[in-house]
Structure 1
Amino acid sequence: MTHPALLRVEQFCRQYQLQHPVVMAPMAGVTHHALPLAFSATGGMAAFGALMHAAPAMEDWVLQFRSQGGGPLLLNLWMPEPAPAVPQPDHEAALRGFLAGFGPEVPAHAADAPLHDVNEQLEMALALRPAVLSTIMGLLPPERVAQARAAGVAWWATVTTVAEARLAEAAGADVIVAQGAEAGGHRGAFVAAHAQRDAVGLMSLLPQVVDAVQVPVVAAGGIGDARGVAAALLLGASAVQVGTALLRTPEAAVHPAWAGLLAVTAPEDTQLTRAFSGRWGRALATDYVRAAAAPEAPEPAPYPRQRGLTTAMRADATSAGDVHRMQAWAGQSAGLAQAMPAEDWLRHTWQQAGALLG
């Protein structure tokens, strides 16, 4: 007899034209086409984190992906557009001095780097008609939900609490992505100030979100191998989303220093930090991350001003191959990541997960 979890998975895969219920996480720092193309070719869902792309660059990326045979695509954007952070000159001067100890001198107006226009990004996303428009940090406005439905684009809303899941379903989300606190990268909390306080682990969050909503749920956070995939499906997920588990694949093309440190990372070697962007995210607990969390360190500036302030340090770290100053996002299951081609990882992982589910 087929396991009930597999029946649920089969229905989800049919709806989204997938062979495997595994979705690539939309990692904004991993925008090469190689990884999403490999995932797509193997029957998973490819993803594109478009946060750092203006609308024309988004179009170019998607057209290149499709010209190379890419299949169903998840396109992710941050929502909603935050109110501009108020500059605090004295505090930012202290931050520039602190950051100069980890890299080049920070220009006086580095924090003023502008964001891309989210409305222009949304217009382009809907015009491109990906299989999925995914959001993090908040909800689509009602008019955008209607436009997505008219365009035949599914909306997947990322949530970090049961309350957010209920809000997302009420707003019209087709799928809920339940992001556990184990996840690498930015936390998807709707209220930035609550991202650390409401850091709920996936094994607690997932079954309660599944019970709270009627739409399918995708599990994200801390899923590093077949055991995590099978566990998430047993807890009610229709699919899983993986990010850190793919960072050691050659297609991810992350810096070798970052990929190498992942191999020896224990769960406790990551931590939530605002030190890179001003919003909470989980990264490797490097020298810079630990120093930024010390009591004597200046508090990070709000997003996106902190992102601008750390740009010079991050670029210099990449050039120097110094992972202790890189923006090295990583989830708590980083140590499970394997240095193998993405296609092999996906086939092997799903084969083993299927065996575990009988």
Structure 2
Amino acid sequence: MMATFADKVLAWFDRHGRKDLPWQQNPTPYRVWVSEIMLQQTQVTTVIPYYERFMQRFPDVQTLADAPPDDVLKLWEGLGYYSRARNLHKTAQQVRDVYAGEFPTTMTDMETLPGIGHSTAAAILSLSHGQREAILDGNVKRVLARYHTVAGWAGEPRVQKQLWAYAEQHLPAERNAAYTQAMMDMGATLCTRSKPLCLLCPLQDGCQAFKQGKPQAYPGKRPTKELPEKTALALLLRNTAGELLLQQRPPTGVWGGLWSFPEFADETALHDWLAQHFAPTQAIATRLPVLTHTFSHYRLHLQPLQVDLDAQPARIMEGNGWLWYKANTEYTGGLSAAVRQFFQTID
């Protein structure tokens, strides 16, 4: 009897698949969910230490739901894509309040939770409960697109529809959790983006892209578009104690909920704000080199201006979204990438 696609994948997994990842030990829905969110746009080797620290601080969904948002963002600091952390916290609270602390067991209910799309919901249910659900993360898209020579960018609706159909088609009748992990592992370790190890792949005989001799052509690249450029001024306001003023950003948007330097559209706005809150106690001390941050939808050029106060400020004190922070000291809240980078270069 000829081995199916799933048979070959499972046989490979039994011999070569990853079985010692932290979230594979006691794979509860909570532990799997946290790992799946962390692994979005992030490599396994990067995620592991973050995951272990996160589990130590938040061992269950109740602990996470009850935690202050700052605690969650602090442990996420450096992983990027902070909307994932904010959604993680919201989902934990929803599971606590709506589902009595237990994750739902249906795709429909799972997809109502913040930050959980169809593929993530399927991965959670498959890996924690063994439910027969197809996933379609970036690794799986690449395997299926090459095996079936599905042309076009994997994010295009037409291409997505084809790939979902193939993902459903190849599901095994049983051992779904192992198959789900195997497909992710194959995409991460064999069917890689730039240098696929085709000669080691169990699907080589049926892979159409391999037969064509051009696996890297699938899936197609995302259409390129020019990122808009934005500029802003970052105020590094230092008091007589050597502390810098930080402002907590709004809960949504870039660096949402994190502590960062106050930003202004131009120098006029910055000077007006200084005059309102601190005049006449300040003087521009240093214009630091421009810092560029590239986000998914635009590129930000931040011009930092360091201002030293010559008297202790009387108006803006800590609280209500403001914080005086001493460089190189530990803080329980999450700091933006700009702040962390600046603290490496300033006295």
Q: Give the alignment's TM-score, normalised by structure 2.
A: 0.28
Question: Relative contact order (C-alpha < 8 Å, sep 6+): which is higher?
Answer: 1
Q: Give the alignment's TM-score, normalised by structure 1.
A: 0.27
